[in-house]
Amino acid sequence: MKRVLMLVLLVSLALGGITAQSAEDADDSRERDMSLARFIRSNNIHRIGGYTSLGLMTATGVTGMLGWEGHPYLGYASLGSAALSSIAGTIAYSDRIDRVWPHMLFNALGVSGLFLNAFILEPGSIEHRLSGAAALGSFAAGYISIILITR
């Protein structure tokens, strides 16, 4: 099950990167991606995904501390939500990377921490717990940074 989730996540990230890169490669692709970017921005998909990810990560942390057996599933949902929201943000705001890079950096670190917890670190280990706390802190810093950037 973990391998399937990891494969789906990696394919999603790769497709998101290809879609974002194609905007720079060809005029036809630029027009198509710009309409996708416009759709993502006008429907607040990235923003909703970000709030959803923060909520899922908070629930994951609380359930982990309580020892609830559903904790891993919330963790996978957090990782998937954060990865998809990151892809949507990259597509929608690729023209603003020079301005929002701190937000992107904090979120990339957070996604990396979630990935480590889901597929590499031993569940329940001190490293797993620290990585989870660091990931949540990194996403919170990303949220604070985008508030400060867009003021």
Question: Which tens digits make up the pLDDT trace of 64-104?
Answer: 999 999 999 999 999 999 999 999 999 999 999 999 999 99
Question: Which tens digits make up the pLDDT trace of 50-73?
Answer: 999 999 999 999 999 999 999 999
Judge whether 77 and 56 are in contact, CB under 8 Å.
Answer: yes
Checking if the pLDDT of 19 tops 80, the result is: no
pLDDT of residue 11: 62
Reading the block at residue 109, the tokens are 């670190």
Taking CA 142 as the corner, what is the angle to CA 136 and CA 146, rounded to the nearest 5 degrees? 150
More confident residue, 6 or 46: 46
Percent of the chain with pLDDT over 90: 77
Checking if the pLDDT of 135 tops 50, the result is: yes
pTM (2 d.p.):
0.78
pLDDT of residue 23: 47
Show the 3-state SS of the chain. CHHHHHHHHHHHHHHHHHHHHHHHHCHHHHHHHHHHHHHHHHCCHHHHHHHHHHHHHHHHHHHHHHCCCCHHHHHHHHHHHHHHHHHHHHHHCHHHHHHHHHHHHHHHHHHHHHHHHHHCCCCCCHHHHHHHHHHHHHHHHHHHHHHHHCC
pLDDT of residue 29: 59
Q: How confident is the model at residue 27 (pLDDT cuts 50, 70, 90)?
A: low
